[in-house]
Structure 1
């Protein structure tokens, strides 16, 4: 068997360790456009936000799907952003949502879907968890679009360069 023919080793339960390469294979097979950052993590843009796909932890066995909504709010609206994310997190399991104040003094809204796989996972589990992170993250972004429509309009103006 050649190097490029190698398949990740499965344990006795048929579980395979998490890896960015496994995620890349899913994206390639699904024809999802993505990029790779300087650390080798995957990233991609969807309709209302961008997502990063990272394997973290000492053994790189924790999947973190982190999304960032394209809209931005002025720092004075941090209280509204906190109230929105607190309600979101109370009413839903996924994704965890939170605001972050940037160095530029704007509020960005992020989400995370994090799952640990210390014993590995099946291909179906990995696909399900990626879908969960993306689908629920996009649901959050759609709710943010409704709650803060002026931020969406501003992001669209900046993207178009007008």
Structure 2
């Protein structure tokens, strides 16, 4: 014979499950089907991104390679498109500061601390053609199927904020 607390627990679980099922059914009738979004759908192309950046009062440029960039005093953020339909968007920060190659292992350890303690953005070192070590941070997402413009604006705004916080962090730690 089950103990009284086990009986109560089973009764509570059954009640909770019934309430959850009722809530799901109610939401199904009120929400648009999965995969459908409110408002027009966009892909994150340069034209849409330039418009969003302008709304954030940021001046953007298209470089010689056709990449969209926003420049600050200590860093630049580039927007890259990947995928068959350019549905993957990446925002990548490049610090203007460069370091001697001998410092790369030390820099990697410092960036490991960032990556361990922060969820976003991902940070790493790069070795460009000039022979000096650079520091990058990036955020990316696959927008296959599109996204509402409002949600894209929010996402880009969060990425810019996160990348700027990383740049501030590097000023203190590197």
* TM-score (normalised: structure 2): 0.72
What does 1:1-162 correspond to in 2, within 5 Å? 12-13=36-37, 14=39, 15-148=41-174
Regions of 4+ moved over 4 Å: none
* TM-score (normalised: structure 1): 0.77
Per-residue displacement from partner, 1:95-118 (whole Å, max 9, x unpaired)? 110001233321100011101111
* Number of residues of Structure 1 aligned to a counterpart in Structure 2: 138
Q: What residue number does 2:5 align with?
A: none
Unpaired runs of at least 5, structure 1: 1-10, 149-162
Per-residue displacement from partner, 1:44-103 (whole Å, max 9, x unpaired)? 112421011122211100111011011111111101111111121111111110001233
TM-aligned CA deviation for residue 12 of structure 1: 5.0
Per-residue displacement from partner, 1:109-157 (whole Å, max 9, x unpaired)? 0011101111111122211221222111111111111123xxxxxxxxx
Q: What residue number does 1:158 align with?
A: none
